Amino acid sequence: MKAISLHAAVPEKPAVGAPCNGCGVCCALFPCPLSRLLLRHREGPCPALTWQETRYVCGLVVAPTGFARWLPRRLVRRWIGVGIGCDCDAEVSDDVL
Question: Looking at residue 12, what is its pLDDT?
Answer: 94
Question: Looking at residue 70, what is its pLDDT?
Answer: 75
Q: Cβ distance 75 to 53 under 8 Å?
A: no
With 0.85 as the threshold, say if the pTM is over it: no
Count of structural domains, the chain: 1
Using CA atoms, how far apart are residues 61 and 77, in angstroms rounded to an integer? 6
In a domain, 69, yes or no: yes
Q: Cβ distance 4 to 28 under 8 Å?
A: yes
Question: Looking at residue 97, what is its pLDDT?
Answer: 44
Confidence of residue 95 (pLDDT cuts 50, 70, 90): low
Structural domain for 44, as ranges: 25-79
In a domain, 11, yes or no: no
Confidence of residue 3 (pLDDT cuts 50, 70, 90): confident
In a domain, 65, yes or no: yes
Using CA atoms, how far apart are residues 74 and 72, in angstroms rounded to an integer? 6
In a domain, 47, yes or no: yes
